[in-house]
Amino acid sequence: MFKKWWKRAVKYRVAYLFILPTIIGMLILHVTPIFQGIYMSFLDLSQFTLNQYLAAPFVWFQNYYDVLINPNSPVRIGLFEAARNTAIYTIVVTFGTLWIGLLAALMVNREFKGKGLVRTLFLFPWVVPTYVTGILWGFMWQKEVGIINILLKDVFHIVAEKPFWLIGPNTLWAIIIPTIWRYWPFSMLLLLAGLQQIPEELYEAADIDGASPWRKFWMITWPLLKPVWAILILFGLIYNVYAFNIVIMMFGFGAGFPGEWGDLLMTNIFRNSFMQWNFGVGTAISVLLMITMIIIVNVWFIYYRKAEESTK
């Protein structure tokens, strides 16, 4: 194998020389920090040893023990709560943005007066920066003066008492809804592009056969959009697990944010690392999260590849 690789390298040596700077840059910018982070997860790197940095005391798997096993570790309790919230958040946001984006794409794919204006207005949430989204929705969720509770109680009379949105179990929905609002236009754009590639003749043939709109969707539209929605689900899983901006701006930079039902894995890592200066624990959680995401992504690729082969 080495001989075959060497012959290939010699044959395409000019091409390899051109991409060598990129490879070196990728190694420096990506691979080196990963290995440094893994090494830091084995150190007692806290506010008391931070001045030693990579020379801090080596504690082997103590950080991982505190994170996963130690029943007396407050970090472990907070981590499992953050993992629970992140799992719910990721699933709801990923599929929420997918289905809302699909409904919007089906709508703007039709011909009607003002189609261009509607499509432009649909893109508005995606234009708003995530930091601004977090701040705006943080004000909107306020109990007494927030527009959400004013609409729910004073305008539409849906609730008898104004609920707390930024405290308690409602906190999770208070971060899920703004995230879906922010990202569904991106799903709409990709799905709209996919819809426009579906041959119209397929729908005409289905009409001749007497297929209902629902059957046409499941037998034509949904299968042919599979390359798009499969990538959207994959990207959604990755991106939402690492969600940070909206949550941190909605609840501010306090060391205790954002409560039992609002803490995500990234805010948990941020708090442990940069607010409590416990970098050893923070990097240990980061490494565990990285390993988990590698497994999830590979499982998804295996499933997607098998599904693709079964349709050929």
In a domain, 61, yes or no: no
Residue 216 has pLDDT above 50, yes or no: yes
Domain for residue 292, yes or no?
A: yes
Q: Does 145 share its domain with 233? A: yes
State which residues form the domain around 188.
85-310
Say if 238 falls within a structural domain. yes
Looking at the fold, whether 100 and 1 belong to one and the same domain comes out as: no
Reported residue count of the chain is 312
* 294 and 152 both lie in a single domain: yes
Distance CA 184, CA 268 (A): 26
Q: What are phi and psi of 43, to 5 degrees?
A: -110, 155
Do 255 and 202 share a domain, yes or no? yes
Residue 305: inside a domain: yes
The domain tally of the chain equals 2
User: Given this model, what pLDDT does residue 254 score?
Assistant: 47
Q: Are residues 282 and 167 in the same domain?
A: yes
- Claim to verify: residue 295 and residue 228 sit in the same structural domain: yes
| Residues 26 and 117 reside in one and the same domain | no
CATH of the domain at 143: 1.10.3720.10
Segment 226-285, tens digit of pLDDT: 889 988 999 999 999 998 888 888 886 544 457 788 889 998 898 888 888 889 888 999
43-55 confidence digits (pLDDT tens): 988 888 888 888 8
Provide DSSP, 223-238: HHTHHHHHHHHHHHHH
pTM of the model: 0.87
Q: CA–CA separation, 242 vs 297, rounded Å?
A: 14
Model confidence band, residue 91 (pLDDT cutoffs 50, 70, 90): very high
Confirm whether 232 is domain-assigned: yes
pLDDT (0 to 100) of residue 242: 92
The verdict on residue 191 lying in a domain is: yes
Q: Please confirm whether the linkage preceding 258 is cis (ω < 30° from 0).
A: yes
Pair 157, 281 in one domain: yes
Instruction: Specify if 214 maps to a domain.
Output: yes
Does any domain span residue 74?
Answer: no
pLDDT, residue 307, reads 64
Asked if 20 and 109 sit in the same domain, the reply is no
